[in-house]
Amino acid sequence: MNKTAHLLVLACLVPHSVFAAKPVEQNCFERLATYAIERPRVPGSWMERPQFDISQDGEHLIYVERSADVADNSITDQLWAVDLKRGFGRKLISTLQTSRDGANLRLPNPLFSPDGTRVAVLGGRARIGITIFDPSREVSRTIDTENAEIRDFRWSPDGKSLAVLMVTSSTRLLRSGYQASPDWDGSSHGTVRYNLVILDSSSGATIDKAPLTYNLVGLDAAFSWSPDGRRIAFSAQRSSAASGRQDPNIYVWDLQTHDIKTLVDQPGPNLDPRWSPDGNKIAYLTADGNDLLKSGLQLAVQSASGLDRLIISKPDETTGTPYLPAWIDADHIAYVAMRQMECPVFKVDASGGTTAILGQQLLSCFGGTKVGAGGALLMTRHSLENPGEVVSTDRRRWSPITLTDHSGGPRLPWRAEAVSWQSKKGDYFINGVLIRAIGRRAESALLVSVPGGPAMVTPDSYNDDAPFLPYGPLLNGFSILIPNTRGRGGYGRDFEAAIRDRKDYVEGPLEDILGAVDYATKRLGTPRSRMALAGFSYGGILTAYAASNAHAFRAAISMEGVVDFYSRALLEYGGPNQQAANANMGFGNPYDIGDRERLLSQSPLGSVDALQTPVLLECGETSLGPADCLKFFRTGNARGSAPVELAIYPRTAHQILEPALRLDSARRQLEWLRRWIPASRSDAEDKGCYGLQ
């Protein structure tokens, strides 16, 4: 292959250029990929705040439905209501927002007013404010703010006020240089602050403001009203602290006396306080003085007076950080956590700390929990079959039913199953998810798809929201294997810390992948000549490394993977991300001779001379495209023995989000796989396209 020609291929992907991948005809793949991108779902991942709410009487549900239009390259959010008492028929409240060609969408976070007569959302008609709907009268009004954006809000218990998280920035046009700090991100030069403000819910007028010395910090919601509406608990960094940069702590603001008292002043960070329904206790997340990135967060409960602190839930050998804790009564809290490629719902006793799994489902992740009528619990569910839906179950008998059903989808013949194998050298037992056709005895081709992180494999690693759409390979006879390589959660502390503690960024995890190849050959009957490797982010790193250091794959697809560890370690050294780089990967000190040699030898770029596997790189124009991806593209074509192609996606950061670009990526990836592993006769598509219209 003429490598000079490859060096001319660096072009942004406006509609396919002469150098871009050949368009695929409008066949079953096109229809199925388009359906996967466009299909309605409840947006947000299982770790984010659920995009639904239930009225206090438990009779009405509201939720956000996000859909896409590939032809228009747009994404639209709509707000729907369901009358749970009279049946599951739904009613459209409003189209909240439409984004085209990469314009940002934020999650609307819908909330009922306490009396259930109004619904508030972020955005809507108020682009950076709040829109409040009165569904019964079919009217709405907005609360707009000048020179500030509302990022979060909570109704007061009486519905007369809104506590809002207001974001202000001092960014302005500069005509001189400015002094950079070690945590400068390379672009912004403004000071951003997150302030707590109380607004009148009818007029939008400001009622009160917390002092600007409190800069709110949280994972989900950084503040919570007391049940009597007299106080607000919040987590914040206090800029007046004499000790310099301070971990966030928990404070209580008395709205009558205007006093702010420190509730939690323990080693942290301490985040996201939640009042109990009886107002006697406050739950919050804490690192308890440990390294947050290594040890995760724990769930603590403290009396509202500030006494009797108790850690009631902490990550253990198989269960990760508790996410989205919610009181389900005055004595119990529900939360979700990662565990063995699933995300069950846990229930913990707030007095004794006794924890039990409330419910789980095979290869599914549940999201934040809310309390309905008659003991019902509502939550989101994410799986291969559905990337986002709202379900309900009785808390005493786990039996989730879907409340946001979207009928009319195709009857797909693929299912996900949990599988396991030994790594190539036998030092670890590796788990993974295998997606294959139902009833197929032998697999004619295999794609090993490695997720990012390194984080535990969850449904968003392989469903319709994943960076790699699975349907092109599946329609062409591939099975897809998603390995939970060492360094990921869910299977013990030693396994999770294997990369960091051993400073083994790629070699050990590659052994796990090669173990998957042996598994596929022996157990699935896959020919070794028909295997491909793909990866996103950290998975993209492993894919780029494997292309030169393993000869098990006929083709590779690397998306947004760092290929030059040494340069990255130098960039992060002394900055705010150095701790994260060490916690996740054990990068160490690039000025230490041993660490330097290790970083260079394990970088995919360091072994590119031995490149023997064809590699397709897909990278964001505002992310790794002009940096690591360009390095590997140029060096691989100049020094390797296999072709490297680079696709740059415009208006794209780390992950491709625009509908038209996602379809382009799916086409391009399928063309690449077909080029190196042609479809066999047994891989013909279903003529009826599985009932998809």
Residue 691 lies in a domain: no
Most confident among 19-23, 558-562, 582-586 (mean pLDDT): 558-562
What is the rounded CA–CA span in Å between residue 673 and residue 667? 10
Structure tokens at 688: 């009826």
388 and 245 within one domain: no
- 425 or 19: which carries more pLDDT confidence? 425
Instruction: Write down the pLDDT at residue 442.
Output: 66
- 578 or 667: which carries more pLDDT confidence? 667
Instruction: Report the candidate in 471, 468, 639 with the shortest Cα–Cα distance to residue 561.
Output: 468
What is the rounded CA–CA span in Å between residue 306 and residue 650? 51
Instruction: Report the candidate in 380, 416, 279 with the shortest Cα–Cα distance to residue 61.
Output: 380
Instruction: Check pLDDT > 80 for residue 549.
Output: yes
Tokens 């739904």: give the residue: 90
Q: What share of the chain is helix, strand, coil (3-state, %, to 5)?
A: 20, 35, 45
Instruction: Write down the pLDDT at residue 680.
Output: 66
Instruction: Check pLDDT > 80 for residue 203.
Output: yes
Least confident of 182-196, 310-324, 362-376, 404-418: 182-196
Task: Count the alpha carbons within 13 Å of 537 in the hemisphere toward its beta carbon.
Answer: 13
Mean pLDDT of 357-373: 93
Query: Which amino acid is it at 377?
Result: L
What does each C-alpha distance from 411 to 69, 296, 471, 572 come to in angstroms? 22, 40, 13, 48
Structure tokens at 248: 């966030």
Instruction: Write down the pLDDT at residue 20.
Output: 37
Which of these three, 373, 408, 443, is where a domain ends? 408
383 and 433 within one domain: no
CATH value at residue 659: 3.40.50.1820
What is the rounded CA–CA span in Å between residue 213 and residue 236? 9
559 and 545 within one domain: yes
Q: What is the mean pLDDT of the chain?
A: 88
What is the pLDDT confidence band of residue 190, given thresholds at 50, 70 and 90?
Answer: low
Least confident of 24-28, 137-141, 405-409: 24-28
512 and 450 within one domain: yes
Mean pLDDT of 246-252: 90
267 and 371 within one domain: no
349 and 473 within one domain: no
622 and 556 within one domain: yes
Burial of 75 (0-12, 13-18, 19+ CB in 10 A): buried
Q: Do 658 and 73 meet the contact criterion of CB atoms below 8 Å apart?
A: yes
pLDDT in tens, 633-663: 999 999 999 999 999 999 999 999 999 999 9
Mean pLDDT of 292-316: 85
Instruction: Write down the pLDDT at residue 6.
Output: 35
- Domains identified in the chain, total number: 4
- Residues above pLDDT 70, as percent of the chain: 91
Instruction: Check pLDDT > 70 for residue 23.
Output: no
- 239 or 488: which carries more pLDDT confidence? 488
Instruction: Write down the pLDDT at residue 171.
Output: 63
Instruction: Check pLDDT > 60 for residue 9.
Output: no
CATH value at residue 195: 2.120.10.30
Cα Rg for the chain, rounded, in angstroms?
26
> Could you please report the per-residue DSSP string of 34-95?
HHHHHS-B--S-TTSPPSEEE-TTS-EEEEEEEEEETTTTEEEEEEEEEETTT-S-EEEEEE
What is the pLDDT confidence band of residue 366, given thresholds at 50, 70 and 90?
Answer: very high
For residue 232, list its beta bridge partners. 225, 253
Residue 241 lies in a domain: yes
Instruction: Work out whether the CA dihedral 36, 38, 41, 44 comes out positive or negative.
Output: positive
DSSP structural state of residue 25: P
pLDDT in tens, 53-110: 999 999 999 999 999 999 999 999 999 999 998 876 889 999 999 999 877 788 999 9
Mean pLDDT of 664-690: 81
pLDDT in tens, 423-482: 888 889 999 999 998 877 667 899 999 999 999 999 999 999 999 999 999 998 899 999
Instruction: Write down the pLDDT at residue 509.
Output: 96
What is the rounded CA–CA span in Å between residue 339 and residue 343? 6
638 and 550 within one domain: yes
pLDDT in tens, 121-146: 999 888 889 999 999 888 999 998 87
Residue 673 lies in a domain: yes
211 and 91 within one domain: no
523 and 479 within one domain: yes
What is the pLDDT confidence band of residue 192, given thresholds at 50, 70 and 90?
Answer: confident
Angle at alpha carbon of residue 328, lines to 322 and 333, rounded to 5° = 30
Query: Which amino acid is it at 23?
Result: P
Query: Residue 134's domain spans which residues?
Result: 50-143
Residue 582 lies in a domain: no
Which of these three, 354, 382, 408, is where a domain ends? 408
Instruction: Write down the pLDDT at residue 681.
Output: 52
For residue 310, list its beta bridge partners. 301
Instruction: Write down the pLDDT at residue 223.
Output: 97
Instruction: Check pLDDT > 60 for residue 504.
Output: yes
What is the rounded CA–CA span in Å between residue 278 and residue 274? 12
Mean pLDDT of 220-225: 94
Residue 683 lies in a domain: no
Instruction: Write down the pLDDT at residue 25.
Output: 40
pLDDT in tens, 613-625: 999 999 999 999 8
- 255 or 289: which carries more pLDDT confidence? 255
Structure tokens at 594: 């041993």
Q: Do 479 and 435 meet the contact criterion of CB atoms below 8 Å apart?
A: yes
Least confident of 227-241, 549-563, 591-605: 227-241
Instruction: Write down the pLDDT at residue 4.
Output: 33
Instruction: Report the candidate in 165, 167, 193, 190 with the shortest Cα–Cα distance to residue 178.
Output: 190
pLDDT in tens, 166-181: 998 766 667 777 777 7
Which of these three, 256, 288, 314, is where a domain ends? 314
Mean pLDDT of 536-555: 97
Residue 61: Cβ within 10 Å count: 24
Structure tokens at 67: 């859909």
Contacts of 174 (CB under 8 A, 6+ apart): 189
- 426 or 4: which carries more pLDDT confidence? 426
Instruction: Write down the pLDDT at residue 8.
Output: 30
Residue 595 lies in a domain: no
Predicted TM-score (pTM) of this structure: 0.92
Instruction: Write down the pLDDT at residue 24.
Output: 36
Question: Would you give the distance in Å from CA 524 to the centre of its chain?
Answer: 31
Q: Do 144 and 152 meet the contact criterion of CB atoms below 8 Å apart?
A: no
Instruction: Check pLDDT > 80 for residue 3.
Output: no
Instruction: Check pLDDT > 90 for residue 252.
Output: yes
Instruction: Work out whether the CA dihedral 283, 288, 292, 297 comes out positive or negative.
Output: negative
For residue 552, list its beta bridge partners. none
What is the rounded CA–CA span in Å between residue 382 and residue 458? 9
Residue 590 lies in a domain: no
Query: Which amino acid is it at 26?
Result: Q
246 and 150 within one domain: yes
Instruction: Write down the pLDDT at residue 352.
Output: 85
237 and 149 within one domain: yes
Question: Would you give the distance in Å from CA 470 to the centre of its chain?
Answer: 18
Residue 692 lies in a domain: no
Task: Determine if the peptide bond prior to 643 is cis (ω within 30°).
Answer: no
